[in-house]
Structure 1
Amino acid sequence: MKAATFFDGTAWREGVVELADGRVRLRDERPTPDLPRIRGAITGGFTDHHVHLQLVEHGLLAGSRLGRVIDLGGNPQVLSRLAVQAVAIDYAGAFLTAPGGYPSDRDWAPEGSVREITDADSAAAAVAVMAAAGATRLKVTSNSAAGPVLSDDLFRAIVRAADEHGLAVVAHAEGAGEAQRVVRLGASHLAHAPFTERLDDAEIVRQAASASWISTLAIHEDPERAIAIDNVRRFHAAGGTVLYGTDLGNGPMPVDLNPREIAALREAGLDDTALLRALAPGDPFDPTSVLLLSGGTASTADPLDARPLTPADLKV
């Protein structure tokens, strides 16, 4: 048994780790002063809020530091059958888009992963199908740089239908004015931190109060990367919620934590506790996905140092 500092998803706390039934388990109790202390800090498995599991070797997740992934665009029937040991999978199901809109013309889009919305009835039907397939949120695309986008009325129709099913709307916004438009129309999350243009400070404040941004900073090259990092820096400073996401499947990247994404978030001003909050670690009391941040202390913990907590860590 050892004393341990752990992250509960919001803040650092003190607890005790012990070996029970062959597994290391964390207990939520204050350790006695004489208890030896584990070197490092403890957290649950991290979350990647933007992945495409049909475009990667998803079995590799089982050996990663990710405890949860959120698929933002795929065939809902295929996604509902995926299971990876010790990794929770949430998904949005198919991309909802305008007729001929992004990504309906992309070769990489798996069969059954795009649904074109033509009117309010088709919006309601598509949302109902995604909900019935187990979707926990919806993905709507609004990419004016790549083709037609949904009208304001149709976007609002999707938001209304999503509200009826208790589903949040995550929007891919690309093209001049699209990030501003989709949040105004009711999207609660942006699938990518805005990268088309620099949002003015007033818009940053408005979005910080009404939407969360999924980072995906490392998929860009300059000037889009610099624009996105500047937007995130000001959004974070305004109190906005930034979530770690990589767009896993968009080009070569590790099926694990992405060092380039972590570095970009640090460049945007997220560090220490803010960075861990963006990574949204899961339940540290779940012995199947508990991690040890082995380098330093809570104040200097680097997520990239994380590894599974093992019985060997309890040896004195």
Structure 2
Amino acid sequence: MNQPEPQQHEAEQTPSPQPYPPRDPRAGYYSGSFPQQEQKQPGLTAPMDPVPDHGELSYTGHGRLTGRAALITGGDSGIGAAVGIAFAREGADVAFTHLPEESEDARTTSGWIQEAGTKALTLPGDCRTEEFCQQAVERTVAEFGRLDTLVLNAAYQKNREGLETLPTEEMDRVFKTNLYSLMWTARAAIPHLKPGASIIVTASIQAFNPSPELIDYAMTKAAQVAFTKALAQELGPKGIRVNAVAPGPIWTPLIPATEWPDKLPDFGQNTPLGRAGQPAELAPAYVLLASDEGSYISGAVLPVTGGKGL
């Protein structure tokens, strides 16, 4: 029996992928010096020159956090805002705390989160009070029905002229904002975290290379690293990962509010990449640590420093 001749088909033409050249890390974001400017604490986004890039127009999500819920302390602006926007575009509902005087930034960030198609919950209050930290966790769980990622990001710093002139009330403000709130919020959140959940601490290069004018801030950041490594050992057997991100010089409202105008023009210029970083450049590190792609990363401190060593 004769077999039919195989039909000849022209090869289908597959479109060539569009080129995606790597970005020179020295460029692509603001790379100049910063104009003289100063704000009172806590600092707001609108008066900044240049305005920080939180990834509003650049971050593209890929569904890495679909169906999950996150709580970010200090999420109205800066690094916290960039992380919130990225988490939302990855599919997560996002709650974040902020001081009442930061409501304008909070509204803006909440708008970007909602534009991504997920829920936003703003939590105005002061993380220096134990009750507020507890309530922030409880309201997040009540609103979203779960808590999968806790980002401990709230922080305060100020330029110090010397330890001998550092007021006790200022030390108290730094320690309560950077350490007490971290402990209170994590303690409240842990009972709600299930296997696969993640805690991420915003530490700092100051934990490893402290500046004398930020002595109290640097102390708290070193303590946060110890907190991260100890808690990772405690929660690892429960399937909960704990990590930290250590930013270098990042252009956020905290910088012009630190009250160091003489240093502002050269901020970040001494990094190997020759510039300060933008909040948008931090967000992918947090997404990695929150997502399943980071499933074997725990107890780590991930530097995002423009090449400055820890």
TM-score normalised by L of structure 2 = 0.35
* Structure index of larger Rg: 2
TM-score normalised by L of structure 1 = 0.34
Is the strand fraction higher in 1 or 2? 1
Is the helix fraction higher in 1 or 2? 2
